Each structure stands twice: as C-alpha cells, then as structure tokens.
Amino acid sequence: MAKAARTLQNGAGEGGLFDRELDHLPPEARWREWMMRVEAVIFASAEPVTREMLAPLVGRDCSIDLLIEDIVNELAGRPYEIVAVAGGWQFRTRPRMAGVLKAAFGGSTMAADITEGEMLVLATIAYHQPVTRAGLSDILGREVSRDTIGQLRRLDLIASGPRSPQPGAPYTYVTTRKFLEHFGLDSLRDLPDLEALEDAGLVSQSAAGAHTTPANDEDSTDPWS
C-alpha cells in the first residue's frame, strides 16, 4: 500500500522509470493521476502547452481532450480557467476578474505599449495577412509608418511573411504565436467574423472588402530582419 502511494506520488514504476500507463492503479485513480499531471504541467508553464507535450505524460489510449474537459469542469468555481490558446492550453484568469486585476496591478504592460493606431494596423494585418506595408496603407486609407511596423515587431505581435509576388518582391507581414497568446486565440480561425465587425461599425466597408495591393519599391527590404 505504501509502495503504491509512493509510486502514485512520484509517477515512477519499477526501476524508477516514468510510468505513463499506471496499470497498477484502478481506473478511477489512474484517471485522477493523469488529470493531476496535465494540470500541473499547464499550471507550471508560462506558455501554452501543446498536445505533443502532454501525450508522453498519460496513457497511450488516454484522451487528452477528455482529461482537459474534466479539469475545466473542476475549475468551474475558481477565478481562473484552462483555455485553448495558440494550439495548446494555458491557465488564464477569468474575464470577469479583469477589473480586480487592473485594480491590483494596473493595466497590461503590452496593452499600455500599443496605441490605438497601432492596434488598428495590427487588426488589419490579422485579417488580411500576408499583407505589405503599402497594402496596409491602401486598406486603411492613410500611410502606415515604418515606426508602427517596428513597434509591433518589437512586441513580437507580427513578423515578416513571404515576399509579395509584386514588382520588387516587398516583404509582407503576418501575426505571430505571441499574437494568439496575447488575445487568447487558439488559432486565426477564432478571430471575430469580419462582416460582424463591419455591421457593428468597428471596421469600415472598405477595410472589410480590401485585399493586399502592390507595394512601393521602398518596401523591398525589411529593416527589422
């Protein structure tokens, strides 16, 4: 009995090897141990934890999705939750706690570093990527400066995409994994529907229907690469 308890606590089987199957445990205890392992790893990680990272910690026939679902249900009454972010899972405080956190710690550092104009450019890149700087200017109806692009790159929210097939092969820009993490998105498919944003008056019809356009020759080199 004591040996089994130590094995459960350490996650090790005979010979000290990591025991992912836990065949010595009854099904309910085995499932509970797998839940604890998954929750512990997600809790300890500063970045989203992928399925590939979790798979070696549980039985080969174990459903990670069902484990996550059970953990989420157990956290229902807590001020934090596990959410799908950037292709993995991460602990996040619940949205309704935002006011409490702001009162305690102030605003988000990254949010404070992004101006309204930069946020507009970032949103345009998110919906029209890959897009050149000249393409952004055409969509938004005003010049998008190199400084704006540089700031978004310094925050690791955008990166260089493939070169455009337009004359001069200018660089395009795309959003990053950090972008998904910051805005709590599992993938770009989770972006709000552009037509819905247009109906709500949050984007213009021209921005919603625009496409990437040819860039100027000055964009043919990337000063931040």
Per-residue pLDDT of the chain (225 residues; tens, 9 = 90+): 334 334 344 455 444 578 999 999 999 999 999 999 999 999 998 889 999 999 999 999 999 999 999 999 999 989 889 999 999 999 988 888 777 777 766 655 555 568 878 888 898 899 899 999 999 988 888 888 898 999 999 999 999 999 988 888 898 999 999 898 888 888 888 888 766 555 544 455 444 444 333 334 344 333 333
Helix (H) or strand (E) holding 31: helix 27-44
- Main-chain dihedrals φ then ψ at residue 141, nearest 5 degrees: 75, 20
Helix (H, G, I), strand (E, B) or coil at 80: strand
Helix (H, G, I), strand (E, B) or coil at 193: coil
* Cβ-count burial 120-155 (b if 16+ within 10 Å, e if not): bbbbbbbbbbbbbbbbbbbbbeeebeeebbebbbeb
Answer whether 41's CB lies under 8 Å from 61's CB.
no
Helix (H, G, I), strand (E, B) or coil at 37: helix
Residues whose CB falls within 8 Å of the CB of residue 189, separated by 6 or more in sequence, listed in order: none
DSSP string, 39-106: HHHHHH-SSPEEHHHHGGGS-TT--HHHHHHHHHHHTTTSSEEEEEETTEEEEEE-GGGHHHHHHHH-
Q: Is the pTM of this model over 0.85?
A: no
Predicted local distance difference test score (pLDDT) of residue 157: 93
Predicted local distance difference test score (pLDDT) of residue 152: 93
